[in-house]
Homo-oligomer: A and B are copies of this chain.
Amino acid sequence: MHPMTRRDVFQAIADPTRREIITLISRQPLNLNAVAGNFDMSRQAISLHIKILRECGLILIQQEGRDRYCSIQPKKLAEVADWVEPFRNMWEERFDRVDLILKNLKTKKMVGKNKQNKLNKPKK
């Protein structure tokens, strides 16, 4: 695990163990060993997951003596919610609307063949 690579919140929640950690400490802040007690892997593995979550801003760690209490920073998950939100309108629409779009596709038949449809994206 490369310590210099920062991950975004999407990469942080991609792992099921990390999602479970988030759920766990959202109920109440826990120290690291208390979190680790709920999993079947080594304490160090959980420590590494928590490090990833802390680095991308999903959890906050407060040290008290030798204990490090992890608590959720839920606002970071707004980034995920914000990304998903535009698609919500689509999955809440009726299916026949999607059919209509596909029918329009058949009559036009040009999107795949039009080589000028690139987004305005600068080359590397």
Taking Cβ atoms with an 8 Å cutoff, the residues of A that contact B are: 8, 10-11, 13-14, 16, 19, 22, 24, 26, 28-31, 33-34, 37-38, 40, 62, 64, 67, 69, 71-72, 74-75, 77-78, 80-81, 83-84, 86-88, 90-91, 98, 101-102, 105-106, 111-112, 114-115, 117-119, 121, 123-124
Contact = CB atoms under 8 A, between A and B. Distances in A.
Each complex incorporates copies of this chain amounting to: 2
A80 B106 CA distance: 31
Contact of A101 (B29, B33, B75, B106): B29
B124 A26 contact: no
B34 A112 contact: yes
A111 B38 contact: no
A85 B62 CA distance: 25
Given A19-B10, A111-B30, A118 B87 contact: no
B19 A111 contact: no
Contacts of A22: 87
